[in-house]
Structure 1
């Protein structure tokens, strides 16, 4: 199957979501309108829940946002099943575009997993430092300084895989400007629902990249028109999150994640105490700091594990949809089942 050669590929196979706003294209049956309104109402509720959580730059918020994104992608699968749109009716170019975008989503998921693994390695350095700090040996206490210093160096370094996501976000945002194409009533419903899922995906991914890379340059500044039932909730959430992220970056506060900042605060107190031979492990201040470091390390470990699970779930949703599409195409080409594709649950991208 050949790839389209255009410099900018459109994202959705069903065209521009704003074409639904014209009188001619707004005539939907009650059943189709109910499906669309149900999707948009549910998306609005998800966005309000994320806003209510607060602590945008915490692993808890990131885990919840990825979980919300997974739910939206699963709902798109359910919507496709309810609309009963057979894959065999999709244009070849649309399918190529879908496969291309799904690969990019898999890449960005892998980039997030890579950064989580890198932070987990840093957590092992903290565990090693704690082992030495909690001993009764002055020599081991001093030795902990090496692990603490390694942590500081690693956490300041950059992940090249995350930086590659900047171009991906650019392409994803550009794909919101779609060419006009003729489409069916069912296609219009799915296309408009996909627009909502696409915006949420782009927003969440941009927040992840900013929080993990420490750069706010690719944050999404899109204002969604009020014609979408979820628009006000999205615009409010996006505005508040972006302000928080940009303020943190402009303050030159280093790591943006709350849990990493918590560890760094304690490490900066402890590291000077591990230098030299005059260190006393009996000092109350050092013992308090050691307990604080263990508490912060446990928060980091627990948060990373939960976030990693959600990122893996997102990866699997995209991969499963991609595999389902390819399987349906193979079956359609062989002509083994004339209904193939009707039950395929394809995720957003």
Structure 2
């Protein structure tokens, strides 16, 4: 539906977002207000959960999993809202459909990039397993050399750049450049839908920017979004963004090799073990210390691998949800056009 010569567009770039957000009680029926209020309160609760009691939990894989679960729940809620509104696809303005499809393609691209990075990091576990296997099969100089080689390979692997993550910034920029809402004049249901979409897109862009910053180790990929004060989730979002961004920036400015907490713990264990292998273990005390360090590495590596697997599952769930939403919309559009006697994609004049 977009024409090749049209300029790049972000989320619903159809005017001033704050115009729609000045909804008054008299503009909507009690039923529509109830639907919108329920949606926004759920979103506020979800965002509040992203502020942990201990800020050190931010950017753990369990926190990232919670963030992705939160995003999936919000997208499920918007699908439920669309159903509750009884707003047939045939009643959607063409520009809404056009932009929805454009957004969903970008979300699929982000999911693919995130999945590739999680898979890449988890592949590093093979080097750690090889390291542990070499030590278990002997402790002579040859085994130490093989073990050191495995740790070197692990370091190179996890510190390598992922070209797909590097493209995320461009995708996010295109989405965040115009966080606006269309000016819906004739449809009360359309106003509710677009205001709800505003919350969805703000949460989506922000969480994806945090993930990208975590994997690129760059504050340039971390967004500070300015949102309207009107939605019921606005204050919670601003608080969440402030806390999370503050912690991410502190981590990035600390000079750490990585800001992902589980990965950092594995890296710390590797840093302890590496000089021991290089210099050799001479006496009983050193041998006992070395054994404890190796056990700790095995434990932390297992936690990292499990955390990456769980987060990957959530990212894949979000991918499937986005893809399913596109399929349903396209099928409904085809059905609507066939019922009206038009072929999908044909100019109906």
Distance of 2:252 and 2:125 partners within structure 1: 23
Matched, 1:121 2:123: yes
Distance of 2:239 and 2:23 partners within structure 1: 28
Distance 1:129 1:26, change over 3 A: farther
The equivalent residue for 2:68 is: 66
Distance 1:84 1:23, change over 3 A: closer
Matched, 1:93 2:80: no
Q: Would the aligned equivalents of 1:16 and 1:191 in 2 still touch at CA under 8 Å?
A: no
Q: Which runs of 4+ in 1 moved over 6 A?
A: none
Name the SS of the counterpart of 1:255 in structure 2. coil
Distance of 2:139 and 2:24 partners within structure 1: 80
Distance 1:187 1:25, change over 3 A: farther
Note the aligned Cα RMSD (angstroms). Answer: 2.2
Matched, 1:272 2:271: no
TM-superposed deviation, 1:16: 5.0
Distance 1:95 1:226, change over 3 A: closer
Q: Would the aligned equivalents of 1:132 and 1:144 in 2 still touch at CA under 8 Å?
A: yes
Q: Would the aligned equivalents of 1:4 and 1:93 in 2 still touch at CA under 8 Å?
A: no
The equivalent residue for 2:346 is: none
Matched, 1:78 2:109: no
The equivalent residue for 1:284 is: 288
With structure 1 as the length reference, what TM-score do the two structures score? Answer: 0.90
Distance of 2:122 and 2:22 partners within structure 1: 51
The equivalent residue for 1:347 is: none
TM-superposed deviation, 1:8: 3.5
The equivalent residue for 2:314 is: 310
Matched, 1:239 2:242: yes
TM-superposed deviation, 1:183: 4.3
Q: Would the aligned equivalents of 2:10 and 2:174 in 1 still touch at CA under 8 Å?
A: no
The equivalent residue for 1:49 is: 49
Aligned length: 337
Bigger shift: 129-138 or 4-13? 4-13
TM-superposed deviation, 1:169: 1.0
Distance 1:80 1:4, change over 3 A: farther
Matched, 1:29 2:29: yes
Distance of 2:27 and 2:72 partners within structure 1: 30
Distance of 2:236 and 2:289 partners within structure 1: 46
Q: Which runs of 5+ in 1 are unaligned?
A: 339-349
Distance of 2:174 and 2:39 partners within structure 1: 25
Matched, 1:160 2:174: no
TM-superposed deviation, 1:298: 1.1
With structure 2 as the length reference, what TM-score do the two structures score? Answer: 0.90
| CA shift digits 1:174-197 (9 cap, x unpaired) | 130355453411011111111111
TM-superposed deviation, 1:257: 0.2
TM-superposed deviation, 1:85: 1.0
Distance 1:293 1:317, change over 3 A: same
Distance of 2:177 and 2:25 partners within structure 1: 24
Q: Which runs of 5+ in 2 are unaligned?
A: 343-349
| CA shift digits 1:124-173 (9 cap, x unpaired) | 11111111123333232331111100011111111010010001111111
| CA shift digits 1:4-35 (9 cap, x unpaired) | 64314252398754223446796110000000
Bigger shift: 52-61 or 78-87? 52-61
Distance of 2:218 and 2:26 partners within structure 1: 41
1:301 to 301, 305, 310: 305
